[in-house]
Chains A and B, each alone.
Chain A
Amino acid sequence: MSDLINTVLGLYNYWIVIFLMMCGFYIVVAHDNLIKKLVGLNIFQASVFVLYITFGKVSGGTAPILGEAFHVYSNPLPHVLILTAIVVGVATTALGLALVVRINEAYGTIEDDEIHSQDDEP
């Protein structure tokens, strides 16, 4: 029984991440609105960030800024990767939003299926 509780507590963070990931995935797959899709992608992205940072955590550790008083630090490598990923993420999201604006201009809509039906017509 205590084994089970241990497993659940140990893996709880990963499960939350998976739930968030699936929420993002569902939004991307099921919604036709392009802005909503981008927000879904962002949610998916943030869940991956949390996953990486979770890997880097060491119990009893502190932030990886070296000092006399501490001996246990969290793993700095995931932090570096995610730090750059966040900024790159917002830059690419901005590019996506710019594309949405242009699509709206060309087709007069930002709904995926309406764009497809317009493409099929002529």
Chain B
Amino acid sequence: MHNFLVLRVIAKLLLPFILLFALYVQFHGDYGPGGGFQAGVIFAAGFILYALVWGVENAELVLPRGLLRFCFAAGVMLYAGVGLYDILAGGMYLDYSVMAQDSVKGQHLGILLVELGVGITVSTVMVTIFYTFAGYRR
């Protein structure tokens, strides 16, 4: 994994764009094609590219396993937490209308938060699965 100069340069060039694109897809999902699921897999694919070119050990310095495990639970908790917050705010479970003064704004906020939870869970689960496969028996 030391002599593939072309691979390393191209991967380094592409990586910021892949990750930026993932974030764009995540937060622009309301208006264009995109959303948590897509952003999650694109982010994970970008990160897996990094891990493939520079090795899993280096990738773990950037995103340690413990953080990933924490995050993939946190994503689901964020989603479920939004639902609980809605009950506390006087609505029904996952009824985002009560999250802001104006029901449309509340829906918008709810969708954004929920998509964020989905995105975090999907991307971290995918990267974790990749780490686990790559790090097995070595």
Contact = CB atoms under 8 A, between A and B. Distances in A.
A adjacent to B, CB under 8 Å: yes
Interface stretch (B6-14, B33-41, B80-88): B33-41
A101 interface: yes
Interface stretch (A2-10, A12-20, A83-91): A83-91
B122 interface: yes
Contacts of B4: none
Contacts of A91: 125-126, 129
Dominant secondary structure at the B interface: helix
Contact of A87 (B31, B122, B132): B122
A87 B32 contact: no
Contacts of B41: 87, 90
Interface string B36-51: 0110110000000000
B127 to A, nearest CB: 12
A87 B40 contact: yes
Given A87-B41, A87-B122, A65 B33 contact: yes
Contacts of B40: 87
Interface in B94-138: 122, 125-126, 129, 132-133, 136
Dominant secondary structure at the A interface: helix
A65 B32 contact: yes
A80 B122 CA distance: 16
B129 A94 contact: yes
A65 B41 CA distance: 21
A101 B129 contact: no
Interface of A: 63, 65, 83-84, 86-87, 90-91, 94, 97-98, 101
8 contacts: A83-B35, A83-B37, A91-B126, A91-B129, A94-B133, A98-B132, A98-B133, A101-B133
Interface of B: 31-33, 35, 37-38, 40-41, 122, 125-126, 129, 132-133, 136
